Amino acid sequence: MRIHASDVDIAGLECRVTPITAAEYGAPARRPRNSRLDTGKLGAICRLPHWREALALCMT
């Protein structure tokens, strides 16, 4: 949910974002409880921006 609310904030849109869980979304595939990507190895060889910084670059 947080990334979608950030999309709205960064884009300067005015709308309400209602958070829901993966279960409430109703996707046919089961989702893992923790699906974060481990970027440790890549981060050791190059600078990876924080996700908010990268999102702002994509949205502007």
Alpha helices in 1-60 (DSSP H): 2-11, 22-25, 40-45, 51-59
Model confidence pTM above 0.95? no
Percent of the chain with pLDDT over 70: 83
For residue range 30-45, list pLDDT tens digits in order: 777 777 788 889 989 9
Where do the domains of the chain lie? 2-28+40-59
User: 7 vs 47, which has greater pLDDT?
Assistant: 47
Compute CA distances 60 → 3, 33, 56, whole Å: 15, 31, 6
